[in-house]
Amino acid sequence: MADGEAGGGGAPAFDAAREALAQGDARAAFAALRPALEHPAPFDAEALGVFAEVAFQLAGPELAGKVQEAVDRPDDVRALYDLGYELLEHDLDRVGAAVLERAHALAPTDPGVLSELVAALERAGLHRAAVSRIAAAADGVREGSFLLRYLLGWNTVMSGDLEGLRALAPSLGPASDDERFMAARLEGVLARGVAVRATGGLDDRDLRGWHFAVNGGVLLHASPHGLDEPMRGRYAFVQDSAALCREGIERARLALEAGGLDVPRVLLLPERGSQALGLAAARLLGLPAVPWEEGHDGPGLVVAYDLAALDDDLYRAVRPHRPGQVLWGHASRWTDDQPIAADLVTFLYQFNTPPWGEQVTLDPQGRARPAEPDLTPAEGLAERIVEAPLDPDALHDAEVLRRFAAACAGVVAPEHRGGAWRADGVRRKQWAGGPVPSARFT
């Protein structure tokens, strides 16, 4: 649901949930209850009472116990806060937001309760609602809390309001190193947003501009499916192809050239998909390919098919910026926070199957069947990418991408530059969602 969209519930939902529980189907019971539990539905002790049994079956006694405590003591701010916190730990952000709304109503001057409510709304993508709660706080609550002032700035810009962030920035008043780090994050979003605003307007369709402003990465490709509605450039479900990998390489070339990024070689990560894409990139870009183990401290284009496919050690190894080193992640999931934002990313997905994965095909009867994964060695996969024909319209926005990359290169402050132009520090995280809304599928 979008900001302000109404929820619902009531006796029929409770009856359906109880019936599903009687049949041993706790997931169906939760599905029936969700409209009565999730923000913006009002706090409902009866719905929580049914949810206590669902929680016990799905998550165990710890969560169920906290649910029951809130049912038994619906006016106990601590019980409500503890439940809200636990619900966020279980990624039940909208349910947690509804519980924390009640806690905030009971304790409107408690900055800790308000901060946790805002965190729940933020994680649910309800940034405008988060802004409105802080803006409506009692006198002195926001003024006495740096965290609330920061959250107001962050959710303001995640609502798509760059000028609102500019107006709020002088009042942040950080007083510690941690607070100065958080304030600098907002300063960076503002600096990057100002640098690229003229290229796309930073409206609710400018996915490329907002991805750079918020995450510091250059988005190379926008999905043509549902471009206006409901996806606005992101993918929901995608089966990647050798042709899209080839397009990604060509778009990376455009961005590197326009952004003044001269990479002398391709660094091959020791992960099969990344090796395949890296070998293909080296061929098509006319650069030598060097194993990561041999050249990881030096300049070059580090190629990852999907950062999520790397093991923990390798993930940590690519996190630091190094002089002259650019990290290109071909595919990246947008529905969850990612610990690393690639400097360049081809596309954003919710569900993706690599070209060599278990892609769905149609059998002779026209029925969808998962294909066996392609076990071809990386060298063979690279050859397919190199030979894949580009669609005549694949680079239709090449000049737009060039202008955008050149604008990205114009950020002056070293600490606020996009990832591709940084020489030190650690890579920023990639935040889920953002000012450009897209449909999510469950």
**3 has pLDDT over 50:** no
**11 has pLDDT over 90:** no
One domain for residues 208 and 341 = yes
The confidence score (pLDDT) of residue 402 equals 98
Query: Using 50, 70 and 90 to split pLDDT, how confident is the model at 231?
Result: very high
One domain for residues 258 and 378 = yes
Each residue of 91-119: b (16+ CB within 10 Å) or e? ebbbbbbbbbbbbbeebeebbebbbbbbb
Tell me which range, 5-9, 90-94, 357-361, is most confidently predicted by mean pLDDT.
90-94
Min mean pLDDT across 63-67, 111-115, 371-375 is at 371-375
Class of residue 174 by CB neighbours under 10 A (exposed 0-12, middle 13-18, buried 19+): middle
Q: Average pLDDT for residues 204-229, to the nearest whole number? A: 95
One domain for residues 90 and 230 = no
| Domain coverage including residue 408 | 203-421
**147 has pLDDT over 50:** yes
Strand 266-268's sheet: what is its strand order?
218-219, 344-349, 325-333, 300-306, 266-268, 289-291
Overall residue count recorded for the chain in this entry: 442
Spatial contact of 435 and 209, defined as CB atoms under 8 Å apart: no
416 vs 8 pLDDT, higher one:
416
Residue 140 is assigned to a structural domain of this protein: no
User: End of a domain among 82, 107, 132?
Assistant: 107
pLDDT > 90: percent of the chain: 91
Residue 6 is assigned to a structural domain of this protein: no
Tens digits of residue pLDDT in 19-59: 999 999 999 999 999 999 999 999 999 999 999 999 999 99
Query: Using 50, 70 and 90 to split pLDDT, how confident is the model at 299?
Result: very high
Query: Using 50, 70 and 90 to split pLDDT, how confident is the model at 232?
Result: very high
Phi, psi at 362, each rounded to 5°: -100, 130
One domain for residues 410 and 274 = yes
Residue 322 is assigned to a structural domain of this protein: yes
The confidence score (pLDDT) of residue 369 equals 83
The confidence score (pLDDT) of residue 363 equals 77
Residue 158 is assigned to a structural domain of this protein: no
Residue 137 is assigned to a structural domain of this protein: no
How many C-beta atoms lie closer than 10 Å to residue 130's C-beta?
Answer: 28
Strands 360-362 and 351-353: unpaired
Tens digits of residue pLDDT in 237-247: 999 999 999 99
One domain for residues 81 and 210 = no
One domain for residues 78 and 222 = no
Residue 174 is assigned to a structural domain of this protein: no
CATH code: domain of residue 345: 3.40.50
Residue 209 is assigned to a structural domain of this protein: yes
* Rounded Cα–Cα distance for residues 176 and 142 (Å): 17
User: End of a domain among 90, 107, 124?
Assistant: 107
pTM > 0.85: yes or no? yes
The confidence score (pLDDT) of residue 275 equals 98
pLDDT > 70: percent of the chain: 98
Strands 300-306 and 344-349: unpaired
The confidence score (pLDDT) of residue 365 equals 75
Spatial contact of 195 and 176, defined as CB atoms under 8 Å apart: no
User: End of a domain among 83, 107, 131?
Assistant: 107
Residue 20 is assigned to a structural domain of this protein: yes
CA dihedral 154, 325, 250, 286 (to 10 degrees): 180
Tokens of 53: 């049994």
One domain for residues 393 and 246 = yes
One domain for residues 87 and 213 = no
425: left (phi over 0), alpha (psi -120 to 50) or beta: left
The confidence score (pLDDT) of residue 13 equals 85
**216 has pLDDT over 80:** yes
| Average predicted confidence (pLDDT) for the chain | 95
Q: Average pLDDT for residues 404-415, to the nearest whole number? A: 97
DSSP 8-state assignment for residue 233: T
Overall domain count for the chain = 2
